């Protein structure tokens, strides 16, 4: 494992590739299913579930774009074994959403929901990490539709499937529940430095029973 080095935002990152990964110079397009058509007048980002006040919070595309903008330098590690290092991501930090629409004290996990009912579960601590970001831009340019425009989640310290494309909302949960790929054999946590790729590698306590 590489030694941690400081990157933008004061977060520690590793100076080497995680085990089993290879350096990727470009950015391959990888996803399951079709690319959704973006309709700004219908687009909505929701926070729901076990919120602190018991209600639901919604933003239109225009309202979400007006939230505080942040930039982070972070890697992206795909479970298909390519890694893209040092990308500049711009958008809204997950911490900002947690501050504006706080979870109830009992919340331990979140489910990130995307188009077509796609979902990915995260521990609250992973979601709240400093460099977890709802990205709208990469390297100063708007994301393309194939790469998740208008919004994708980037969770740099986990495999990239934990950061869905075409995100539409976050559900706060008081117990863990597997998302789309986690129900289909991917590891419930997905730490690339521990090479947690598949559910058969899980240890007791890593996730709900399949």
pLDDT > 80? residue 178: yes
Q: Which residues contact 147 (CB under 8 A, 6 or more apart)?
A: 27, 29, 138, 165
Quote the percentage of the chain above a pLDDT of 70. 90
Q: Answer whether CATH 3.90.420.10 is correct for domain 46-201.
A: yes
- Token pair listed for 65: 């774009």
CA atoms within 13 A on the CB side of 206: 18
Residue 26: pLDDT band with limits 50, 70, 90:
low
pLDDT at res. 25: 79
pLDDT in tens, 100-156: 999 999 999 999 999 999 999 999 999 999 999 999 999 999 999 999 999 999 999
pLDDT in tens, 40-62: 999 999 999 999 999 999 999 99
User: What is the average pLDDT across 17-23?
Assistant: 93
Q: How far apart are CA 36 and CA 117, in angstroms?
A: 12
Q: Is 187 exposed, middle or buried (0-12, 13-18, 19+ CB in 10 A)?
A: buried
Residue indicated by tokens 């708007």: 142
pLDDT > 50? residue 39: yes
- Angular region, 40: left φ>0, alpha ψ -120 to 50, beta rest: alpha
Domain boundaries, the chain: 46-201
């Amino acid at each position: 494992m590489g030694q941690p080095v400081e990157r933008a935002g004061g977060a520690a990152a590793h100076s080497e590739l995680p085990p089993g990964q290879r350096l990727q110079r470009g950015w391959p397009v990888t996803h399951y299913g079709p690319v959704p058509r973006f309709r700004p007048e219908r687009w909505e980002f929701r926070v729901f579930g076990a919120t602190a006040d018991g209600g639901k919070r919604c933003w239109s595309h225009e309202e979400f774009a007006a939230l505080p903008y942040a930039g982070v330098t972070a890697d992206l590690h795909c479970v298909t074994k390519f890694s893209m290092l040092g990308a500049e991501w711009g958008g809204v930090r997950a911490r900002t959403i947690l501050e504006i629409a706080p979870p109830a004290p009992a919340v331990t996990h979140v489910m990130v929901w995307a188009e077509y009912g796609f979902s990915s579960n995260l521990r609250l601590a992973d979601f709240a990490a400093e460099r977890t970001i709802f990205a709208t831009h990469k390297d100063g340019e708007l994301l393309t539709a194939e790469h998740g425009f208008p919004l994708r989640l980037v969770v740099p310290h986990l495999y990239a499937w934990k950061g869905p494309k075409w995100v539409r909302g976050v559900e706060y949960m008081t117990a863990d529940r597997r998302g789309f790929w986690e129900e289909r054999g991917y590891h419930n946590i997905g730490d690339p430095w521990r090479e947690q790729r598949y559910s058969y590698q899980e240890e007791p306590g890593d996730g709900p029973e399949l």
